Amino acid sequence: MSPRKLADTARALLANDKGVLAMDESIPTCNKRFASVGIPQTTEARRAYREMILTTPGLAASISGVILCDETIRQQKKDGTPFLNVIADAGMIAGIKVDTGAVDLSAHPGERITKGLDGLRERLNEYARMGARFAKWRAVITIGPGIPTRGCIEANAQDLARYASLCQEAGMVPIVEPEVLMNGDHTMERCQEFTGEVLHAVFHQMFEQGVLLEGMLLKPNMVLPGLTCSKQKSIDEVGHATVQCLLRSVPAAVPGILFLSGGQTATLASARLNAMNQKFSAPLPWEVGFSFARAIQQPALDIWRGDEANTIGAQHALNHRASCNRSARRGEYNASMEKS
């Protein structure tokens, strides 16, 4: 492991106010998204969709890196060009999702633990040889009656730290993604409390496992009220609670925070990211960016619908979202951009 190389990759992913596009949906998740808009759930449809995304003209102006899944990293364009070459030729960095999904955590009803540590060293070495320079692992924390428990938080935090340490050994930057879900009727205050608790546990475990903070990136949830909470909050209130929570729990040595969107609408995710960068830019120790999946892809998927004739329109929508989020990183996003 070269600390300099890791830090350089992390910085490259944050450079020029760009973001990281998450297009690493597992086969079941991608199929679920396709089913919702009537696209056939086939290997070829997933390949064609990923080709549409990766060949979007100008995408690299707003996107520094893309997270792929195991199926996609091995696929090619229709003309045979490997996706990895398309990504490199566009000037973007390839990354890979290396968790293998979340399953029920034994003895903890309603809670989940992420799988994927078995054989991870070998898989990381293979992906590094293929050209991936960073990786991603998502842990899922649910808020509900009596949960999350310490047992669930600690188990996921330890696995995230073991994953991060193995990534760095393989020369890859770990994106560490502990997601506190927005499903439920909990208040924003409860989300803030548990997001803080989870982040403290994650950074404690990363310290124990010797993870180089300068060579990693954090991908957390924003601090939000639950989807069905009766007390929804303004954009500025969300921005304030999120930044306050992160300032209390994320060490300054971490170079960047790349938010997930978690099911927020595309425009709300941009507006909330913008509020954080607009109102708090001066005192923040880390860069505050994005690694959205749905909040970048969904408008494009709604247009594409599996029909090649819709490619240009879908690519335009994808580029638009990526570019709005780049503006939000600078605190320059505003609603009028949606009209143009």
Give the x-and-dash track for 69-108 against ligand 5MM (CB under 6 A): ----------------------------x---x-------
Q: SS in 3 state form for 109-160?
A: CCCEEECCCCCHHHHHHHHHHHCCCEEEEEEEECCECCECCHHHHHHHHHHH
3-state secondary structure of 173: strand
Among 50, 138, 162, 186, binds ligand 5MM (CB under 6 A): 138
As measured in angstroms, the least distance from the Cβ of 224 to ligand 5MM is: 12
- Choose, by CB under 6 A, the member of 201, 254, 295, 300 that binds ligand 5MM: 295
Residue 19 binds ligand 5MM, judged by CB under 6 A: no
Question: In whole angstroms, what is the distance from residue 281 CA to residue 296 CA?
Answer: 23
Before 220, cis peptide (omega within 30)? Answer: no
Cβ neighbours, 10 Å, residue 323: 18
Instruction: Round to the nearest angstrom and report the end-to-end CA distance of the chain.
Output: 46
Phi, psi at 168, each rounded to 5°: -65, -35
Active site annotation includes 177:
yes
- In the set 177, 179, 233, 287, the catalytic residue is 177
d(CA 257, CA 238): 16
User: 6, 13, 14, 25: which one contacts ligand 5MM (CB under 6 A)?
Assistant: 25
Q: Which 3 state secondary structure label does DSSP give 67?
A: strand
Residue 293, interface with ligand 5MM (CB under 6 A)? yes
Q: x/- binding map, residues 148-187, to ligand 5MM, per CB under 6 A?
A: -------------------------------x--------
Residue 69 C-beta: closest distance to ligand 5MM, Å: 7
14 vs 139, beta carbon nearer ligand 5MM: 139
Q: Which of 18, 97, 136, 219 is catalytic?
A: 219
262 φψ region: left (φ > 0), alpha (ψ -120 to 50), beta (else) = left
Q: Cα 287–150–288 angle (5° rounding)?
A: 5
Closest distance to ligand 5MM from the beta carbon of 269 (Å): 7
By CB under 6 A, the count of residues binding ligand 5MM is 16
Applying CB under 6 A, the span of 143-151, 192-200, 254-262, 271-279 interacting with ligand 5MM comes to 254-262
Contacts by 46-52 with C-beta closer than 8 Å and gap 24+?
46/71, 46/72, 47/72, 47/75, 47/76, 48/78, 48/306, 48/308, 49/301, 49/304, 49/306, 50/23, 50/75, 50/83, 51/77, 51/78, 51/83, 52/300, 52/304, 52/311, 52/314, 52/315
Indicate if 308 belongs to the active site. no
Shortest CB 255 distance to ligand 5MM, Å: 19
> Which residue reads 């893309």 in tokens?
66
Residue 97 φ/ψ, nearest 5 degrees? -80, 125
Q: How far is the CB of 2 from ligand 5MM (least distance, A)?
A: 27
Q: Which stretch binds ligand 5MM (CB under 6 A): 35-43, 188-196, 242-250, 256-264?
A: 256-264
Cβ proximity to ligand 5MM, 9 vs 261, nearer residue:
261
Shortest distance in whole angstroms from residue 169 CB to ligand 5MM: 22
User: Site residues (CB under 6 A) for ligand 5MM?
Assistant: 22, 24-26, 29, 97, 101, 138, 179, 260-262, 292-295
Which residues are identified as catalytic?
Answer: 177, 219
